[in-house]
Amino acid sequence: MKTMSTVAVIGGGPAGLMAAEVLAAGGAQVDVYDAMPSAGRKFLLAGVGGMNITHSEPSEAFVSRYGARAPAIRSLLDAFSPNALRAWIEALGIETFVGSSGRVFPRDMKAAPLLRAWLHRLRESGVRFHVRHRWQGWSTDGALRFFSPLGEIHVAADAVVLALGGASWPRLGSDGGWVPLLAACGVDVAPLVPANCGFDVAGGWSAHLRTRFAGQPLKTVALRFADASGRTHERRGELMLSDTGIEGSLVYALAAPLRDTIAAQGAVVVQLDLLPDKHPERVVADVSHPRGARSLSSHLASRAGIRGAKMALLREILPPGELSDPARLAHAIKSLPITLAAPRPVAEAISSAGGVRFEALDQHLMLRGLHGVFCAGEMLDWEAPTGGYLLTACFASGRMAGQGALRYVGCENASSGS
């Protein structure tokens, strides 16, 4: 390299920071720009409830979590696998462990120590940070435009890595404001839509259910529905009643087909099995057992274990005649219909789907139509359930984009970043 190439990384989340690391290791001068007062705000939030950084399951199962985008993500994971990610974290001095579900966490479950150690190492390797710099696209002479505390500034760079995130939790910085900027340059961007999100029930809950039971979990239930093509989806787990509908891990896991079915047909009826471990005949026998002077609630609580939010949901959905008919009640316990009308807004979702389509990118994640501009992280058009798959793909794509940018600027030691 004759003079030091300058690469701008825009977006200081996990994808951008990983690109910055690879670029600095390869000998480029790296400037990281972020709109927020500090880098990695969503990454820190991910650590609040216990940061699930990746998953230990076999690679075929892992890759399958990316659904239709599995082929595109596979090549990223081939270059930086979940195991390599774990080793990278350990090299930062952060121990990891595999939880009982196979999920991988930092030993203390937090993101802050990891981010702190990482930012320190990046600064030591010469990466310069420019916070409160909001990217605004390009000027007519091809410079990067930023709104900064000093007003609008223009920056020239030999290559750019965009790692601007999706559109969930916009107050943490990723607000999807980049979509029109790239679309104006002819980049094919799939609309950003909620992923890993809750859903509103048609007509909303009654005031009684909302005020008394919103926030309460329904433990070990099964949710089943047919998508627009008639394919049945079924899963068991835990969901939560929300102010407007349902949310929680079971709902997030089915969020993509639920969202797409609602988009295709306007609403979707899901069947909730409140007692998935009990055979239907057993439920009929329990419910039909003479209850004497006992109320229906105490009868169902003692014979079938239906109480609290489960009982409230039955009362909310079933007409009185059905509640008092044991056969129909037993059927409803195994298959309670709930109509979902809409996903919750993307701002509330854990992640977003949509983004820059892989067809618009080459194998190093460079935009085919904008040479020298690379994209990484959640702003790419893929989605995955929770379980560490989100962060893993962000890290792996950041690495790929960083290596691509290194090659693009012709750094001699491009391979050292791999």
Ligand X SMILES: Cc1cc2nc3c(=O)[nH]c(=O)nc-3n(C[C@H](O)[C@H](O)[C@H](O)COP(=O)(O)OP(=O)(O)OC[C@H]3O[C@@H](n4cnc5c(N)ncnc54)[C@H](O)[C@@H]3O)c2cc1C
Q: Site residues (CB under 6 A) for ligand X?
A: 10-16, 33-36, 41-43, 45-46, 51-52, 134-135, 163-165, 168-169, 173-174, 177-178, 350-351, 377-378, 388, 390-391, 394
For ligand X, the closer of residues 227 and 383 by Cβ is: 383
For ligand X, the closer of residues 1 and 48 by Cβ is: 48
- For residue 167, which of 36, 377, 10, 351 has the smallest C-alpha distance? 351
The distance of closest approach from Cβ of residue 160 to ligand X in the complex, given in angstroms and rounded to an integer, is 12
Q: Which two tokens stand for residue 166?
A: 């999706």
The set of long-range contacts for 291-296, using a CB threshold of 8 Å and a minimum separation of 24, is 296/323, 296/324
The distance of closest approach from Cβ of residue 16 to ligand X in the complex, given in angstroms and rounded to an integer, is 6
The distance of closest approach from Cβ of residue 84 to ligand X in the complex, given in angstroms and rounded to an integer, is 16
For ligand X, the closer of residues 84 and 323 by Cβ is: 84
3-state secondary structure of 217: strand
d(Cα 14, Cα 17) in Å, to the nearest integer? 5
Provide, for the chain, the percentages of residues in helix, strand and coil under a 3-state DSSP scheme, each rounded to the nearest 5: 40, 25, 35
d(Cα 394, Cα 352) in Å, to the nearest integer? 13
For ligand X, the closer of residues 13 and 354 by Cβ is: 13
The distance of closest approach from Cβ of residue 12 to ligand X in the complex, given in angstroms and rounded to an integer, is 5
391: phi then psi, degrees, rounded to nearest 5: -65, -40
Q: Which helix (H) or strand (E) holds 241?
A: strand 232-241
For ligand X, the closer of residues 205 and 382 by Cβ is: 382
Amino acid identity for residue 377 in this structure: G
For ligand X, the closer of residues 189 and 268 by Cβ is: 189
For ligand X, the closer of residues 336 and 396 by Cβ is: 396
Phi-psi region of 387 (alpha: psi -120 to 50; beta: other; left: phi over 0): left
Q: Do 36 and 173 contact (CB within 8 A), yes or no?
A: yes
3-state secondary structure of 62: helix
d(Cα 58, Cα 48) in Å, to the nearest integer? 27
